Amino acid sequence: MEVLIHFIFQLIKIGILASIYAFIFIIILLIIRKLKPTKFLERVKTQKIKSWFISGFLISIGLFVYAFSYWGNHGLGDGPMIPIGHWKTVENTNWNEYGYLKGHKTSDRINIETTRFKVTNDKLCGNLESWFYDFENSYFVLDLKTDKITEFKTVTEYDEYAGKNKLPKSHEFLSFEQNYRNHWGGIRFLLLP
């Protein structure tokens, strides 16, 4: 049910954004027409509503495609996700505190689960914490380019490594919800679906 409600919200938001962007596009075309009139721009002036509708429809298709692409997909309903680069995402279920990265296993052959993390310089750094599994190590750094994972038993080991490699210290990690809001909030929330 949450997925359906969020999908309907996305469609409404795409419609509103497309209408606004189409209006701005028509205004820009009319300004350009005053500076350099062409046959096409004269047609836009005489058929403003039709031009607005067609451009709004095309923009809404573009926004819809973007909303479900890697860069725009933030999950529907109770399945939020954050793209972290190199076609990888940190996902979550039901907005609980655990984020997980599918397809990347720790040294004890368990998918990465974390409650606090940060992405810096194409590296995902975080703690290893799960509600179900007990990890052998406590912290990790995943190189998003090479998929190489480095694990650390203690916070001291991790913080020493982070200091030497210009990575965030453990106290700089953020929760899934904070990372999600930082990535998807602000101007991006207002201007994109």
**Model confidence pLDDT, tens digit, residues 154-192:** 999 999 999 999 999 999 999 999 999 999 999 999 999
Sheet of 174-175: strand order equals 149-152, 139-143, 123-127, 116-120, 174-175
SS3 142: strand
Distance between CA atoms of residues 99 and 122, nearest Å: 18
Q: What pLDDT does residue 95 have?
A: 86
SS3 content of the chain, % helix, strand, coil (to 5): 45, 20, 35
Q: What is the pLDDT of residues 98-138, one digit of tens each?
A: 999 988 999 999 999 999 999 999 999 999 998 888 899 99
> What per-residue confidence (pLDDT) applies to 100?
93
> CA 180, CA 174: separation in Å to the nearest integer?
10
CA–CA gap between residue 70 and residue 78 (Å, rounded): 18
Task: Report whether 80 contacts 95 (CB < 8 A).
Answer: yes
Whether residue 27 is predicted with pLDDT greater than 80 in this model: the reply is: yes
pLDDT digits (tens, 9 = 90+) for 35-81: 988 999 889 889 999 999 999 999 999 999 999 999 999 998 889 99
Say if residues 78 and 3 touch (Cβ distance below 8 Å): yes
Q: List the chain domain ranges.
A: 2-67, 81-184
